[in-house]
Amino acid sequence: MKIGRNELCPCGSGKKYKYCCMGKENIEEEFEIGKKKNSWEEFLNTEEGMETMYNMLANMRDFLLKDKPHIKEYKKIRKLHSEIIDNMQQYYEEGNFKQEFDLGEVKDKIETKNIKLLSTDFDTSTQLGMTALLNIIIYKNSSTANCLTEEYLRKNKFRKPEKVEFLRAMLNSEAGLFEITKTDKENAQVKMKNVLSGKEYLVTDIALSGNKNNDKFYWYNRIITYNGISFGTGVGIIFEKNDKFIINWINENKKNYNEKEEMVRFLTLYNEYQKNDRGIKLRVNNM
């Protein structure tokens, strides 16, 4: 069956096919790429090879799990989410939304470095940069800034009850740095805990639940829960648990944690991740 470039990728990542597994299903083609790098084994040790193998395994697991009822529901929800995000992105690109910051009540408490963070440049020619920007404008990351989800609800942009309810789920979603505390491969689920808030979620994720190294990383993600299904979305940036920066970041942010002020935390992590180019970029989720 031929898959359209703009259709959802069948691996279950929630991304469009052209941004995910397009061109990566043919193992022989990937082997030819590997031979140019001296060997298939050497190729798999590169970032490109890691992502290729990651997607191949996700495709295989997707096929084996596709008949489970909660996986079918998960895919319906991811499709609904993708439709809403595509609509929002078009709305934003047409110049219909302006994000504003009300610093009146908190300007005396905001440090200069935090104000500078708000002017972070996003390279929108890359998927990572565009996804990071959309994370800022679509979701409620700060009590002092408006967001697209609020505007869509206020203006009644959608009439279908399921989309209205989904917008509310997006508005109530939680973003943060998570660690995976338990993996259930058979049901394609992982238990994720926000390292700052302590909140836990049972997240459905076909690819992530097949990863053997989940205990070695922290994942920055956003978790949305709709119709009893929780799933991760947003900028899937990853830090090794022994990274000195992330250890210090966690300790510092635990001291004065405010769940309503996620924007500065996100921008701090995003800037560090981009600046040091850690190379752990296995996946960027659909927003």
**Per residue in 234-256, pLDDT tens?**
877 889 999 999 999 999 999 88
Two tokens, residue 49:
């090879």
What pLDDT score does 56 carry?
76
The H or E element that residue 77 is part of is helix 69-93
Q: What angle do CA 257, 226, 166 make, to 5 degrees?
A: 95
**Residue of 100, 202, 190, 274 whose CA lies nearest to 284:** 274
- What is residue 2's predicted lDDT score, i.e. its pLDDT? 58
The ranges of the chain with pLDDT < 50 are 26-28, 30-31, 33-35, 37, 105-117, 279-287
pLDDT tens for each residue of 52-97: 776 777 778 788 888 999 999 999 999 999 999 999 999 999 999 9
Q: What pLDDT does 207 receive? A: 83
Query: What is the structure's pLDDT at 119?
Result: 53
Return the pLDDT at 28: 43
- pLDDT (0 to 100) of residue 99: 87
pLDDT at 75: 93
pLDDT at residue 165, as a whole number: 98
Nearest of 72, 70, 16, 222 to residue 135 by alpha carbon: 222
| Residue 90: other Cβ atoms inside 10 A | 10
CA–CA dist 130, 114 (Å, integer): 21
| Residue pointed to by tokens 């740095």 | 177
